[in-house]
């Protein structure tokens, strides 16, 4: 199947034109750009852009297949997971929030949910979702800060010794027991946590003001 760009773009404009334009302006600040993956994801979320989705698929599809196969899954089943996860990315795009998540982390989480739901009858126990206000204006500074922290985390991962790195990979693949995770080498998650926490606190204040004007 070929994607008809012109038609899709036209359809997107009629769907949610105002929001997309508003967001698009916010993707570049002070000459710093957010990552391609986030730009594609926002185009999928706000404009239902199929070409951007195809790029996400090209980037994450093979990585996702490799990832679940390293977790012990055979190729055919791994492709089923890729299909389901990428379709979820499309259908649940509205839930993606670049102030608190990275596309890769969001996809990682969707993959875990999908795998657990397959294994267990009851599905995964999930936290309540934060109340997300539609009017909430995205904060480009917060998005960029998250991207930078995530970038540092990736660098830290790249600098690990091979055996440490293998250990971290095993932990996030889900191959380690609780005891083994307890003993693993930690990654520097501190700043990311405080960034996310700041975002959450701000959101909570906004919600509070809405409730108590």
Partner 1 sequence: MSNITHHIPEPMLAAYAAGTLPPVFETVVATHVSMCAACRAGMQAHEIAGGAVLEAGDGADLSDALKSDVLALLDGPAPEDRPAPKRKGIYPGPVMAALKNREPRWKSLGMGVRQSILMDGPDGSLRLLHIPPGRAVPDHGHNGIEMTLVLQGSFADETGTFGVGDLEVADEELEHTPVAGEGLPCICLAATDAPLRFRTLMPRLLQPLFRI
Residues between 5 and 44 that touch partner 1 (CB under 8 A)? none
Q: Are 130 and 112 a contacting pair, CB within 8 Å?
A: no
Listed in sequence order, the residues at least 6 apart from 210 whose beta carbon sits closer than 8 Å to its beta carbon are: 133
- Which position among 122, 159, 163, 212 is part of the footprint of partner 1 (CB under 8 A)? 122
- φ/ψ of residue 187, rounded to 5: -100, 155
**Residue 14 C-beta: closest distance to partner 1, Å:** 15
Judged by CB under 8 A, the number of residues near partner 1 is: 82
**Residue 200 C-beta: closest distance to partner 1, Å:** 5
47-76 residues near partner 1, rule: CB under 8 A? 50, 53-54, 57-58, 60-67, 69-70, 75
174-203 residues near partner 1, rule: CB under 8 A? 174, 176-178, 181-182, 184, 186-187, 189, 192-194, 196-197, 200-201
- Which position among 106, 140, 143, 144 is part of the footprint of partner 1 (CB under 8 A)? 106
- Which position among 14, 18, 30, 129 is part of the footprint of partner 1 (CB under 8 A)? 129
Which residues in 15-101 belong to E strands, given as ranges? 28-29, 32-33
Q: Are 16 and 47 a contacting pair, CB within 8 Å?
A: yes
Of 14-22, 23-31, 109-117, 131-139: span binding partner 1 (CB under 8 A): 109-117
111 is a site residue for partner 1 (CB under 8 A):
yes
Q: Are 81 and 115 a contacting pair, CB within 8 Å?
A: yes
**Residue 21 C-beta: closest distance to partner 1, Å:** 23
Q: Are 23 and 42 a contacting pair, CB within 8 Å?
A: yes
148 is a site residue for partner 1 (CB under 8 A):
no
Q: Are 82 and 35 a contacting pair, CB within 8 Å?
A: no
Of 17-25, 26-34, 136-144, 147-155: span binding partner 1 (CB under 8 A): 147-155
**Residue 113 C-beta: closest distance to partner 1, Å:** 8
SS3 183: helix
**Residue 44 C-beta: closest distance to partner 1, Å:** 10
**167-176 contacts at long range (C-beta below 8 A, 24 or more positions apart):** 169/70, 172/108, 173/67, 173/70, 173/71, 174/71, 174/112, 174/115, 175/71, 175/72
């Amino acid at each position: 199947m070929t994607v008809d760009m012109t038609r899709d773009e036209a359809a997107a404009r009629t769907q949610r034109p105002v929001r997309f334009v508003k967001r698009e302006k916010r993707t570049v600040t002070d000459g710093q750009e957010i990552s391609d993956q986030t730009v594609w994801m926002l185009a999928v979320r706000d404009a239902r852009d199929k070409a951007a989705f195809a790029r996400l698929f090209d980037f994450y599809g093979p990585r996702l297949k490799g990832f679940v196969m390293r977790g012990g899954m055979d190729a055919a089943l791994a492709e089923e997971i890729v299909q389901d996860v990428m379709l979820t990315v499309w259908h649940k795009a509205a839930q993606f929030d670049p102030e608190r998540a990275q596309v890769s982390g969001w996809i990682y989480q969707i993959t875990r949910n999908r795998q657990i739901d397959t294994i267990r009858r009851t599905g995964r126990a999930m936290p309540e979702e934060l109340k997300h206000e539609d009017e909430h204006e995205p904060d480009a500074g917060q998005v960029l800060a998250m991207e930078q922290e995530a970038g540092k985390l990736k660098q830290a991962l790249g600098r690990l010794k091979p055996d440490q790195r293998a250990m971290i990979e095993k932990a996030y693949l889900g191959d380690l027991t609780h005891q083994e995770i307890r003993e693993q080498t930690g990654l520097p998650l501190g700043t990311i946590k405080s960034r996310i926490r700041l975002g959450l606190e701000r959101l909570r204040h906004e919600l509070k003001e809405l409730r108590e004007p």
